[in-house]
Structure formats: structure tokens, C-alpha cells
Structure 1
Amino acid sequence: MRRLAAVSAIVVGLVSPAWAQADDDADETDESTDEQRFQAFAALGDREAAAGRPRAAVAAYRQALKLRPDPLIAGRLGVLLVQLGKPEQATDHLLDALQLAVKATPAERKRFFEAHEVARDAGAWIEVLLSHAGVRVTIDGKPKNCVGRSSFWIFMRTGEHELRATLDGYEEAIVPFTVKKREDKQLPVTLIPLPMPAPPAPAVYEPEKDPPKVERVVVGGDAKLPKQEDPWGYEDPRPAQKSDEKRWSIGGGPVAVFGVASWMPAVGIVAEGRWRANEYVSLGLEGRAAWLTAGVADRPISAMTAGGIVSGCGHWRWLYGCAIGHIGVINIEFSRTSYEEQSSTLVKPGVGGRIGAELHVGRSVALKASIDALGLTSGLQVIVGQTRLVEQPPVLIGTQIGATWEF
């Protein structure tokens, strides 16, 4: 009864002000009303979660996200879904929260990360590659909204599953597949056209009894007939075909780096240029910078890293692996409001490796995602007075996504 009363109060509080405002101010926009409803549902979800009613909190958070996206509310929804045993519904929300929820407290960001790791242990990401656009797809009997797309990602629990794909004029494709813990993979789905009906029997041709005789004309010498009378005697010049092979590419995108004075992510950007020697080998040069999203050891101390990376990569289909070298700095800056103003910049060269995947979405555009690990020449310590706040090992782990343009 208490829950029903709370929901009724929210509904009355949403509807009554809307009627009153319609009478007092007819020019109020729908956007402000939607924002009020969003705030009301978000607050209701927070209260239900604090009261230990996760299912009611999930319903409120979902109503809020229908009004507008918010990474902080998505993260809270993802944590509750993991608690309710629905990790396959939580991974998208938790990824959004980890990447975009800049207003989250360090404690709440830690809960997002821990919930995401629990969800990842429950299954794997599957990339479904469709041979035709407009295919209707069901997975384990549930429809998937993917019309108009040739590929999509979906997180699935470990175990046996079945995908069915249908399209007018093609045989139904039934693809069973197995999902193993944290083993992301591609699932190609190829539709086969239905056999065409046999064409009608051709009419019987009856030649004329006395076909006309054609006399052969012999032209002597170097006489050359006009093109209208002898079209086969002329060859049109063919333009030289330009090679479609693309050697250079530029690109960029967001990056998250772990190990910058903390295992919390430092978020920033990366830009790269790459030269492709052949189908299997490429060389690249990139620059990246990332800033820690929270204070060091919950203190008013900020940190960032910036540097350049040179890479030599081997390619096989859509996968690639690289040996990388890094030269860069880590900067630690103490807040002037709490400490004597001080900034330390430490040079940190290192070497490591990278593994990634790329998907071409056009003749010249590709999407890329990768993860890399770097071993540095030395670790990092942050000491305040006689207290050692941080002793970070000489390791940087980075993950990035982005797009490249090839030319």
C-alpha cells in the first residue's frame, strides 16, 4: 500500500502541475514537462533503491530513460539489474555509465565497474553479421530490432542459443551457436535465395523454306569502312584503371587509460596516422592524452598522461596485433586550495603490445576498437608529507575506439 501511495503521489504531482501550468502559462514547452517527469522518475528510483525495493526502482529508472538518456541513471539501473540476475540487460547501461557518467562519485563509479565485471563473467559479446539488409531476426524466439542494419552487437549469457533470420524471397536461416564466458566472437548469417520457378518452354522456331542468300562482300586493299558500317573494326580507347588499394589512413576517437596514478580510468582522445605497406603489414604513429576522472586516492590531486606511440602491426582479416613503443609523460598536480602549489612531470618511456579489430562500413571508412598494455621503465609514487598515498606499478593499460578514413 505504501508503494501504491508513493506512485499515486508521483502521478498526481506530475499531472496536476501540468494542468495548472496549462491554465496559467499556455506557452510552456513540452521539453520542460518531460524534464520534470524525468527528474520525478529518477528521484522515485533512488528512493525505491534506498528502501530495498530493486524491482520498483528498475521500473522507475526505465521510465526516466524513456524520456531522455542519462549515463548516471543508466549506471544505477545496470547495478540493480545485475543484483536481480539479469546481467545480459545490464552491460549496455554499465558501459555508458563508465564512459560518460562524469557526475558519478568515485564510490558509485567503483560500483559501476564491479557490476560490469560481474555481468561480463555471465557471458560474451556477439557480433551478428547479416548477408542482407532488412533481415528480420529472432534470438531464442525473441525478436531483435535490427531492420536496416547489416550487423549489430548483442550481449548473450553463456550456453546454447539459436538465431533465426528471415527475408522475403530467401530461405529461413537457422544458426545455432554456443556462448562461452568472455569469449567475444562474430556470428555470420548468410541467407540463400529461394529457387526460381522454371521458365515456360520456348516456342518452336520454324525456319523459312527458302532463306534469302547473302552474298559475301570482299574489300581489297587498305579500304576501311565507316564505323557505322563496320563497328567491330574500331576499338574504343579504355581509360587507365586506377588502383583501389589505399595506402594511408588517418583517424581518432576516445581513449581510456588505466594506471595513471590510479586504476580509475583516465579519459581522453587519440589521433593517429597509418601507412599500409601491404595487406598484412602497417606502420602507425599516434598521439594521445587522457585525464584522470577522479582525484588521486580521493584527495584533491589531479593526474594526466600524454605522449606518442609508434606501432608496427600485422593484419589478418578483421583482426590485427601490434608491437608498440611509447614515449610520454605523467603529470601530477596538487590543488592549491589544499597543498602548496606543485606540479610534477615524469617522463615514462615503455614498450608493449596491442590487439584490436576493425570493421569496414564503406569504401574508405572503418571502425576500430583495441586494447593495449605498456610496460614502463619505472613505477610511480605519490607521497604527501610522510604518507605514501599511491605506489603504482610500471604498467599502463589503454582501450580505445574510433574511426579511420583511408585514402
Structure 2
Amino acid sequence: MDNIPDYLVLRLNGTSFLDRREEILSIEYNSIFTFAEFKMEACRTLRVKYDPKCRLFDKEGIETFEDDLNMLKSHDVLYLASRGEDFDYSSVLNDYDRKDVLGEGGFGKVYHAVNRETGEDVAIKFMDISHYLTHADQIEEIYREADALQKLNHSHIISLHKAFVQRKEVILIMEYAGGGELKDRVEEMKDMDEIYARFIFQQICSAMSYCHNRGLIHRDLKLENVLFKEKGGMIIKIVDFGIAGVCKPQEKEKTDSGTLSYMPPEVLSGEKLEAGPGIDIWALGVMLYTMIYGKLPFYGDTEDEIINCIIKKKPSFKDKKTISKELKDLLIKVLNKDSDKRLSMFDLQNHKWMEMQDEEILKSIEESKLEQEQEEEKK
């Protein structure tokens, strides 16, 4: 072994933070280890019987082989599976102290947790797959969230620290965003002024543009899936790529998932089931309209009424609240029933409303109010 570290931290596979067997393996620089000798020394250090089938894993659960030894650094942690068993991810999970439940979904729960060693706040999502083990499509759907998040690195997308399978659960350890849902913020404020809403909307669009440029669509964009990083703050994080799909040439995939009120007409009518960026663009329009008016643009008392409204009716702008003509133009274009005529992400981000100065927006709102008053006088 070249580049031998001073020492390594050895832990027995499957032990928790509280009952962990941990020893320091000091390595003499004049010692020359074969990989077998290295494993024998690890067993001796942890006082377990040597078994030629024993295995070593790093903190991520990735098995360590002879070629990996040169990459080790002092203080690195290795887990010894003394009987040759697979890595036990409870070793990782038990490093975290679970706090309160952040949310519940169709597949399981999300907890706020704290790393006992570092004090870092994280969110841990437990997804029960016990009822889906015989359905390949549903299992694939569960794994999408981990796969999608691991490919993304954006300031407004929740980051994934670790993802693993433990017994009949998929477990995701993610960045913590404790500021609450955008949905709750909208309900608290009743409606948002254009400048406030635009600041948040621009962040969401930036994140989704990043995704679309990489051939990834979210497919379940909604107010509930946008979190604030901190309470009272205005920095957002997009979460829940659980049904995200990769949209690349020759790799179109069908979609019938998503939340009904945010689904575009072409999907609900069955006209177009291929997953594409237009699905997210429509959802962005629904989100922005709801942020501005405090209510969904398309609604009904039953699913059939909601579907009929989305497919056939135009969004209403006849409200006591007056908006700028630029915002109205943007909403009309992103909520276009014809997906081929709907704004692209590029055109959305470069729309005049997205680039106007705050003072220009306020002036445009006043002009719209004056026009409305003049129209009322003519009646």
C-alpha cells in the first residue's frame, strides 16, 4: 500500500451511534499490507473472529476493495462486515436523532432529524415499498426521486445526501428546509403582491429551467412542493421529485400522474400523454395565478367539474384585485390550452413581466386600474 494513512476509524457493521463498537486502526508506515492482511488486522482490532469472506464498506455503504485502499485518508471511517454480509444502513440511519414529522404522503413519512455527531439538520423520507414489491412500475416510480435528486445541483432544489434501501423501505436523507410550504404562505397572505410573488416565482423558474435543460421534468409541481429554507424567509427549495420523469429524444414516457388541479388539459383529455416540459409550464402558471389571486384558476366541486373547467374554461381575471397587463399577458400565455402555443421555459424567463423593474410593475398596475375605472364609467 502506498500513501498509507496514519489511522482509520473502524466500526462494526450494523452498530448504532449509541452502541457502536468503534476502534482506531493505527497503521505503521513501514508496514506492508496485502488486502487480506488489512482485513485480518481490522478483525483483530475490533476483536472479532477473522472470516475470509469479511468485507469492508465506507460511510456511504460502498464496498471497499484493494484498489481503494490507496485513496483512504486519516480519520476515514470503514465498516467491517465480519461475516461477509451486506452493508447495514441502520448504521447510517442511527447516526440521526429523529424529531418531528414534516409531512406524510402516499408512500410514507418525512421527518426532521439531526445528525448526532455534527448537529446538522436533515429531512429523512421513509417510503414504504412493501405493498409494491411485485409491481415493477411502482418500484421504479419510487426510485425516481433518488435518481432525479442525485443528478441535480441547484440552489433552489433540495439536495440529496444519501439514498438507500433498508428492508422494505427506501430511505432518503435530504437537505432540511424548515420554513414551511409555499401553499401555507399563500393562505396566510390571502394573496401576494406582484413584486413579492415574482421574486419567488423567478426562483422556481430558475430551478425548473435547470431541470429542463438536463432533460428532466418534475411532473408534480404545486405549491405544496415548494418549501421555504427558513421561517419567514423568501428563499425557496423545490422538493418531491418522486414522479419526476426523464424527457429526452427517443425516451418519451407516458404520464397520468400529478395533482389534478395542476394538470394540463392535454393530459386530462388524453390528447397528449407523453411527458414534456409543457406539463411543468402549465403547473407554473397555475401556481403563479394562485399566488396572485389566492385561489386556483380552475376549480369545481367534483373531479369531473375540475377536469371540465381545465379543458374548456379560460382563467378569470375579473377580480377586485387589479394586476399589471404584463402579468395578465404572461398568465394567458402559460395557461394556453394548446400545449404547442404555450410559452417555453426560455420565453417565460424572458417575458417582459419577469424583467421589469419594480417601479414599472407598480406603474403598470396603476394604469390597469385607471383603464378599469374608465371601462366602468362607460357601462
The answer to whether the superposition gives a TM-score over 0.5 is: no
Q: Normalising by the residue count of structure 2, what TM-score does the alignment of the two structures yield?
A: 0.21
Higher strand fraction (1 or 2) = 1
Q: Which has the larger radius of gyration?
A: 1
**Higher RCO, 1 or 2 (CA under 8 Å, sep at least 6)?**
2
Q: Normalising by the residue count of structure 1, what TM-score does the alignment of the two structures yield?
A: 0.20
